[in-house]
Amino acid sequence: MAKRRRLTAPDTAELEQLEAGFAAKPSISPFETISSTPPIAQVAAEAATLNGMTAVTDRLALAQDQGDAARWRDAQDAGLVAEMLPLDQIDADFIRRDRMVEDEDAMAELLESLRVHGLRTPIEVTRDGDSYGLISGFRRLNAFRRLADTDPRFAEIPAFIREAGSGQGAYVSMVEENELRSNLSPYERGRIAVLAAGQGVFASTEAAVDVLFAAASKAKRSKVRSFAMVHEALGDLLQHPVALSEKSGLKLASALRDGAQTKLRQALAGVGELDPKSEWALLEDALKTSPAPSKDKARGGRPQQVQRLPTVALPGGGDIMAEVSAGELRIRVRGKEVSAEDAQDIVGKLAEYLGEFRRET
């Protein structure tokens, strides 16, 4: 009879070693897919991996956002971002306009286009304190103001905000846009050069022409200077200056260089309302009776300059403006009521002064 073996309970330390060994031993079954890693450890590991990926994605998105914000600020500083501005914050008379005539038929077409399609090309403005000064887009702004009277959708207008100030940059931007969108007339080109120089933006009319029309040929700038002289000499009397053709304007400029200014001004002064054709006929008649041009005079001479004297403010409002050119002095009183008797008295005193001045010299 075999002897029975006595069974003894395993030691606790031995059991722990066995469990550790089984846990560390890899599975030998190729079909076993259940991991020996505790479920809570799997969840923690997966969460850590996802958090790491999210952090990388967030950093990438943040970098892209920062880059976009920087590019946006650069575009905004360069005036390439259109912003919606209230109409009442825009000063349309911030600088003198180059366009003189408003075509009502073209305005009607613009109004209808804005109603149906909206504004496709924003206007250009520059900051002027708490408001904005208009650089280009006068017709579009005017159209929005008309539409805003009956439609609140047009109370604001898209605008590019340029850092042009009120100096040369503002005038260059205005002229460039009008040259591209709709050619200015020869007279309007000369006139805006005179106005810009008169406001002190440029040292002289010639300097204004050279900067405002820098892209034009030398011959074209010469023609602009000729029309500038026509505006300086006759602009306050011409009823239809924009209707002057290039040939007519150059003919007037040539006559003005030869001393016909007084004759032409006398012909235009005191006439009633004229149409463009009648006005030019009047000027042609004056040219026929003007002195013949000097043969010794070089052709293509510079336009004679009109010197503007400093404006003198009057007590109680108003001011006096004066211009001096070859053989002529022009004085204008603005913003002050002057009776015919007072005007006659002023002329008499001026004549007396000039008489005394001549005797002294």
Q: Band of the pLDDT at 130, cuts 50, 70, 90?
A: confident
Last residue of a domain, one of 290, 306, 334: 290
More confident call, 95 vs 360: 95
Last residue of a domain, one of 165, 183, 205: 165
Residues 70 and 158 in one domain: yes
**Residues 164-200: tens digit of each pLDDT:** 655 667 776 676 666 555 567 888 888 888 888 877 7
For the chain, the distance separating the N- and C-terminal CA atoms, rounded to the nearest angstrom, is 166
> Tokens for 244?
């002057």
Domain count, the chain: 2
Residues 132, 161: Cα–Cα separation, whole Å? 8
The dihedral over CA atoms of 27, 28, 30, 34, expressed in degrees to the nearest 10, equals -20
Last residue of a domain, one of 274, 290, 306: 290
* Residue 358: inside a domain: no
Q: Band of the pLDDT at 252, cuts 50, 70, 90?
A: very high
Pairing type for strands 131-136 and 328-334 reads unpaired
* Residue 173: inside a domain: no
**The pLDDT value given to residue 299:** 43
**The pLDDT value given to residue 303:** 45
Residues 329, 331: Cα–Cα separation, whole Å? 7
Residue 230 near residue 251 (C-beta atoms within 8 A): no
Residue 319 near residue 334 (C-beta atoms within 8 A): yes
* Residue 308: inside a domain: no
Residue 226 near residue 190 (C-beta atoms within 8 A): yes
Q: What CATH number does the domain containing 131 carry?
A: 3.90.1530.10
Q: Which one of 44-53, 160-169, 247-256, 287-296 scores highest in mean pLDDT?
A: 247-256
* Residue 186: inside a domain: no
* Residue 61: inside a domain: no
Residues 219 and 160 in one domain: no
* Residue 359: inside a domain: no
**The pLDDT value given to residue 249:** 92
More confident call, 110 vs 13: 110
Domain with 84, as residue range(s), is 66-165
- Exposure string for 300-335, b = 16+ CB within 10 A, e = fewer: eeebbbbebeeeeeeeeeeebeebebeeeeeeebee
What size, in residues, is the chain?
A: 361
Residues 127, 43: Cα–Cα separation, whole Å? 59
Residue 214 near residue 129 (C-beta atoms within 8 A): no
* Residue 135: inside a domain: yes
Residue 170 near residue 126 (C-beta atoms within 8 A): yes
Residues 43, 146: Cα–Cα separation, whole Å? 67
Helix, strand or coil, per DSSP, at residue 5: coil
Chain centre distance of CA 308: 27
**The pLDDT value given to residue 278:** 92
113 has a pLDDT exceeding 90: no
Residues 151 and 224 in one domain: no
* Residue 76: inside a domain: yes
Amino acid 118 reads: G
Mean pLDDT of 262-277: 88
**The pLDDT value given to residue 154:** 92
- What single-letter DSSP state applies at residue 258? T
Q: Band of the pLDDT at 72, cuts 50, 70, 90?
A: low
